[in-house]
Structure 1
Amino acid sequence: MPYVVNEGARLYWREEGAGTPILLIMGLSFTHEMWFRVLPWITSRYRVILFDNRGMGRSDVPRGPYSIRQMARDARAVLDAAGVRAAHVIGASMGGMIAQEMALLCPERVLSLVLGCTTYSGVFGKWPHFGKRPRGMRWSRANRVEREDALAPLLYAAATPRERLEEDLRVRCQCSWTSRGFLNQFTGILLWNSYRRLPRIRVPTLVIHGEEDHLVPPRNGRIVASRIPGAQFQLIPQAGHILITDQPEACREVILRFLEQNGAAD
């Protein structure tokens, strides 16, 4: 299994497919396995590089917190390990924050950006009012499956078929997860802000957001797109935070069209 060491952490990465390189960056507490809905259609056209952020999955869980900028340097180290000079970068949620930071830190490594269900600040972003924890369970005593299932209304659109949610749940619960890694990543989110720096991003950018995103409301994506020169914004109807599960075909169409328009020939 391929690993690269960066700033005290051994990072797991792998690649599939051939052609123009695409780097996939996952969000808070999720691992590279959660790209399973994307991989069949993107690896058939492109060389896809994916990895586990520090603190999750098969990557190390070093002492934290982990800054978004540090995780952007991790992503750059993965490109180095893969021998890739520059790639189209797709980031989801926290991964979208890391992708923004990559475009600011090392713009020569980023050919274009696809920013999904993300925001510009951990503290100053536009957040929903979080109600009480799910009823009918004691959160402190719940196992991982019960907790993940209880969070579904926050992550998915109301009309998403239950079987798709359960498929996601099975994948997530098979992946390595630690509370320390989660807290270290989450602290990095809270301390991060790109709002004033976004106009410095000069690569083609697509911002996509689910219309029913209850975790990171769509206004966040609109603001990100409005701050990046020339950025496109696409709202996906009947999609929540995990929009690739809620509306896989719509996401596929929008992302592939953007990549084709911006030089990612298959």
Structure 2
Amino acid sequence: MTASKNEPMTATIEMMEAGGRTLRVATWRLDDDLDHPPILFFNGIGANIEAVAPLAEKLTERAFVMFDMPGTGESPDPALPYNPFTMSWTARQVLDQLGIAEVDVMGVSWGGAMAQHFALQYPKRTHRLVLAATTAGMLMVPGNPAALTKMANPRRYIDPKYMNEHFQTLYGGIDPDGGANQKTSHIGRLKPPSPRGYFYQLIAMLGWTSLPALPLMKKETLVMMGDDDQIVPLVNGRILASAIPNAHLEVIAGGGHLFLLTHADQCIGKLRAFLDAPTTEAELARAA
């Protein structure tokens, strides 16, 4: 399987039954003898596994687990709507089937909300938490209206010309020198979600916010934000970092909503510094 015509994806892909749903699940290096827990990654709204596969490919000392949400990528349409509680439960079942007891949990944008909920719902399965380009849910500072309008339009996944034309408005943070290659690479990895899949993702977070629960979050947390993000302004990361007791905020200068891909080397360095840091006595005490 390939992430695009020019970018091979080395993941192991399988269709898995979990939580009454059929999901397309990708894993990287799960059978390797690695020193760190795997990363459970929650993707952005409407995005398929291939959209962030480059991150999993580059962070070679870590195993990754990722799945297409119902109705996205190659996961079949959901029969019924879902919410963060039921999808966290489903993700836990995926981990159970893969024989994984503990993970570092990471999410970007919409998936960042899922990552927060999973860590709150399953603290004993969560080692550390990484939140990228995300918010505390409904209690957020909205982004650029022009970007949000286009964000809600699934045409960005269906029409490459539309995506190319509005890429900077949507995502910001494009390198003036390598922007054309960045756009082409990202667009080439996308597969449009089904209308039902996209709609169910949109409504899954209606009314949801993590903000009242974040002071109870005991996990070491890295919050990563781009200062040119047109969809999720930087102030939302500051809110998360101030609400979570053990959080650290990293700002990617010039980074837009896709800074994990456009500023990959810088982000991977920050991820390694955070995730590879030795477990502290305070972490052990909180986990006890």
Using the size of structure 2 for normalisation, the TM-score is 0.82
Q: 1:248 to 1:129 in 2, by over 3 A?
A: closer
Tell me which residue corresponds to 1:29.
46
The answer on whether the counterparts of 1:156 and 1:246 sit within 8 Å (CA) in structure 2 is no
Instruction: Write out per-residue CA displacement over residues 12-34 of structure 1, whole angstroms, 9 at most, x where no aligned residue.
Output: 11211132312121110001111
Picking from 213, 216, 221, the partner of 1:197 is 213
- SS at structure 2 position matched to 1:2: strand
85, 97, 117: which one pairs with 1:69?
Answer: 85
Q: Deviations over 1:181-206 (max 9, x none)?
A: 11110111233111101111111110
Q: Please tell me the residue identity of whatever aligns with 2:183.
A: L
Point out the more displaced range, 223-232 or 123-132: 123-132
> How has the CA–CA distance of structure 1 residues 158 and 32 changed in structure 2, closer, same or farther, with 3 Å as cutoff?
closer
| Alpha-carbon contact 1:65-1:183 (below 8 Å) kept | no
* Amino acid corresponding to residue 14 of structure 2 in structure 1: P
- Counterpart position of 2:67: 51
Give the alignment of 1:160-175 within 5 angstroms: 160=176, 161-172=179-190, 175=191
Task: Quote how far apart the aligned CAs of 1:176 are.
Answer: 4.8
Deviation at 1:244, TM superposition (A): 1.4
Q: What is the aligned partner in structure 1 of residue 23 from structure 2?
A: 11
1:254 equivalent in structure 2: 270
Identical counterparts, % of pairs? 27
Quote the residue 2:164 is aligned against: 149
Point out the more displaced range, 150-159 or 202-211: 150-159
3-state SS of paired residue (1:261): coil
Taking the aligned partners of 1:143 and 1:258, their CA distance within structure 2 comes to 36
Whole-angstrom distance in 2 between the partners of 1:14 and 1:108: 23
Q: What SS does structure 1 have at the residue aligned with 2:249? A: strand
Q: Which residue of 1 aligns with 2:58?
A: 41
Q: Which residue of 1 aligns with 2:256?
A: 240
Distance in 1 between residues matched to 2:145 and 2:105, nearest whole Å: 31
Q: Is the Cα contact below 8 Å between 1:112 and 1:262 reproduced in 2?
A: no
Written as runs of structure 1 = structure 2, the 5 A alignment for 1:123-142 is: 123-131=138-146
C-alpha RMSD over aligned residues: 2.1
State TM-score, norm by structure 1.
Answer: 0.88
**Structure 1 moving runs of 4+ over 4 Å:** none
Distance 1:7 1:113, change over 3 A: same
Q: Where do 5+ consecutive residues of structure 1 fail to align?
A: none
Q: Cα gap change, 1:158/1:74 in structure 2, threshold over 3 Å: closer, same or farther?
A: same
Q: Is the 8 A contact 1:15 1:47 kept in 2?
A: yes
Q: Secondary structure at the match of 2:161?
A: helix
Q: Is the 8 A contact 2:222 2:249 kept in 1?
A: yes
Aligned equivalents of 1:229 and 1:33: distance in 2? 33
Q: Residues 227 and 33 of structure 1: is their aligned pair in 2 closer, same or farther, counting only changes over 3 Å?
A: same
Measured against aligned partners, the alpha-carbon deviations of 1:37-62 in whole angstroms (never above 9, x if no partner) come to 212221x2022212112221121211
Measured after TM superposition, the shift of residue 149 of structure 1 is 2.3
Q: Please give the alpha-carbon distance, in whole angstroms, between the structure 2 residues aligned to 1:64 and 1:212.
A: 36
